[in-house]
Amino acid sequence: MGVLDALLVAELLLLGSATGFLAGLLGVGGGMTMVPFLGFMLVHRGVEPGLAVKMAIATSMATIVFTSIASVRAHHARGAVRWDLLRTLAPGIVIGGLAAGAGAFAVLQGPVLALLFAGFVGFSAVQMWRDRRPRPSRRLPGPIGRTAVGGVIGFVSGLVGAGGAFVSVPFMTWCNVPIREAVGTSAALGFPIAVANVAGYLVAGRGLAPALPGAVGYLYLPALAVLATASVLLAPVGARVAHRTDTTRLKKVFAVLLLALASSMLWQALGR
């Protein structure tokens, strides 16, 4: 059997296509949808569950490097990316991402990371579903405040393998940024988040024995190649759908997706 068997390739193509579409639709980068399923695939192929969670997180984050580029191009073409926000959030994101990927990620156990994933994503789901209208006077913080928020987004994203939209989209909408701009800007934030965290994972995973053929530390490169190819092709399709969808419905879809993923990771963390 080669590095990837035919069934695994088919599973990865389906997963990559679905997460790429959702990345474009919701600006989530695909990581939140990818981690639970990829972790299950790795466990099914003999990887120890704690290590499988870390490999799924790292590989999913690496996929976001490619998915975010395809997604942000589609959103930018529709004027939905707030580049002014990106410039002030990105420095903190890079610092937080490196701190998480190279430090905390290696120290924390797999089940703890799964619980963190479930907790943060579940909280975001509830906030988005409630759809509480922010005060009309509420605005985004200044540049220093945005950089600090970026640090939190980068750090948390690095721990759970997501592109940060589960924090950045609720945060921006809470500050009266329109949902489509929040989604488009979050898609753009996925790139610096992914690059910083993958660099950290490479540092943290150096010297780790390959769990599967083709694995380098926490990164499973053969799966990354298939996932990235499929997700890049579908991300622009999701972005087109996002700009034709009612914003209230878009928030509800986002919330339901997050809640389902939180439940899945909680189930895995409890060893069910």
36 found inside a domain = yes
Give the HSE-up count for residue 250: Cα atoms under 13 Å, Cβ half-sphere.
Answer: 27
46 found inside a domain = yes
**Dihedral (CA of 120, 258, 72, 104) sign:** positive
Question: Measured between alpha carbons, how far is 41 from 226 in angstroms, rounded to an integer?
Answer: 14
Residue ranges of the alpha helices (H) in the chain? 6-26, 31-44, 49-76, 83-99, 105-107, 110-130, 143-160, 165-174, 179-204, 221-242, 247-269
Domain with 53, as residue range(s), is: 6-269
Query: How many domains does the chain fold into?
Result: 1
Task: Please tell me the pTM assigned to this model.
Answer: 0.70
1 found inside a domain = no
Structure tokens at 91: 């420095």
Q: Are 33 and 261 in contact (CB under 8 A)?
A: yes
199 found inside a domain = yes
**Longest distance between any two alpha carbons in the chain, whole Å:** 61
56 found inside a domain = yes
Structure tokens at 85: 């926000």
Tens-digit pLDDT string for the chain (272 aa): 446 788 888 989 999 888 888 767 765 555 667 877 888 889 888 888 888 888 988 898 888 888 777 777 877 887 878 898 888 888 888 888 888 777 676 666 667 767 776 776 677 677 667 766 556 667 777 888 888 988 888 887 777 666 666 678 778 887 888 877 887 888 788 888 888 888 888 888 887 888 888 888 889 999 999 998 988 888 778 777 777 776 567 667 777 777 777 776 677 667 65
Structure tokens at 250: 């878009």
